[in-house]
Amino acid sequence: MSSIALTIVAFIIAVSILVTIHELGHYSIARLLSIRVLRFSVGFGKPLWRRMAKNGTEFVVAAIPLGGYVKMLDEREGGVAEADLPFAFNRQSLPKRVAVLAAGPVFNLVFAVIAYWFVFILGVPGTRPIVGEIAKDSYAEAAGFHARDEIVGVGGRDVATWDGALFALLREVLDGGPIAVRVRDRGGAERSLLLEVGDDTERLTEPGQLLRGLGVSFWSPPIPARLGEILEDGAARAAGLRSGDLVLEADGTPIADWEAWVDYVRARPDQTVNLRIERDGSELELPLTIGAAEQDGVRTGRIGAAPQTPEGYGAELRTEQRYAPIEAIGIALDKTTDMAVVTVSMFWKMLWGQVSVRNISGPISIAEFAGYSLGDGLVPFLDFLAVISISLGLINLLPIPLLDGGQLMYAGIEAVKGTPLSQRAELIGQQVGVVLLLALMSVAFYNDITSRLVN
């Protein structure tokens, strides 16, 4: 399956699952409270499949898989027979209506717990958080980080993978104040460090900028300067280099590893250098005329070759978090809670300009992440579904008319004033809600488009 097809299929699967879970929340509680549900639709537009249940609910799968809805019997949406009035949504008590409205977001959060539970019992693969080079004059250098330190704790909590460390660092940046970090050096000795990031929250929360902003990089074992795949039209092929050749020297300069070789090549576009290589156990010399390409407005050297990764490369960095089923329940609850708290914190700080709005992802980014995660297997896809389910649940709780949160806001006003809002007030609220949702969607689409133009 092509990457585009996989992205589309993964996106449709993800949206369908999460929308079904959300609407199932509304439907289940409505039925439990004897409220009549007229339609349960996954998707919008022309129905592709429909079935009428014995309880009078029409179940529909529609052509546009970008949402869904549950339509309940309601006098505000049309005439209701006298005998059916007790089953109409608008005739229910305030607590019952609140329960139905809140059920969708709650089901999304519960689904996230279940998804994380499966993730943790199946096993979460990860990479040990060992840091590479420390940037000069950075927060990390000031805190006392050294290359090859392994991060074992952030903010008083243990971490075992880069994913865990990044999430914990983000949580602490959002909380403000110094960040307590515990590291272990190559000799096994642990020490405590303090990252002082001040009020640099907005820059550090730019997508992909957290580690770079702190001055930390990922460490990976050096790869020998041995050629792997060689492009047909590249400079390496033209010079007679072959897959498996090990570069030893270039113009007398020893080449220690692949990174050193890449740096050497990039610095010498269009130059001819004499190589000493090892091939099939023998050494030989040959000239190489390095090609060139434009990168960020700078001309850099290219030869059209990829490294040959040694068998078992990086095995010492790989780890896995796996828990027994009972223990995984608590871990899944903690993970869902942490994700929800960080999501709420980020959105709140966005409103005050303390966190970059570029963190709002649109459907293009979500579709790409869905494709990547599904391509990587069941565990990454479940992890992705949990994250999006939490976001969907929390977004629906925003006090914006047209969303569940807006309807809950109306219910709160009704509880205070003793009577429901007038239809005119609700209509004005819906119009405001449309404007707010369009603004939110515009930001999301803008982020999607500009991120691709930059990249």
Active site members: 23
The CA-based angle 21-24-27, given to 5 degrees, is: 165
Structure token digits, residue 226:
């041995």
Q: CA–CA separation, 131 vs 185, rounded Å?
A: 10
- Say which residues have a Cβ less than 8 Å from residue 252's Cβ, sequence separation at least 6: none
Among residues 96, 15, 27, the alpha carbon closest in space to that of 56 is found at: 27
Q: CA–CA separation, 148 vs 321, rounded Å?
A: 22
Q: CA–CA separation, 121 vs 108, rounded Å?
A: 20
Judged by phi (left if over 0) then psi (alpha if -120 to 50, else beta), residue 79 lies in beta
Q: CA–CA separation, 101 vs 401, rounded Å?
A: 12
Indicate the angle between helix axes 378-395 and 3-32, nearest 10 degrees.
50
DSSP 226: B
The CA-based angle 120-118-161, given to 5 degrees, is: 25
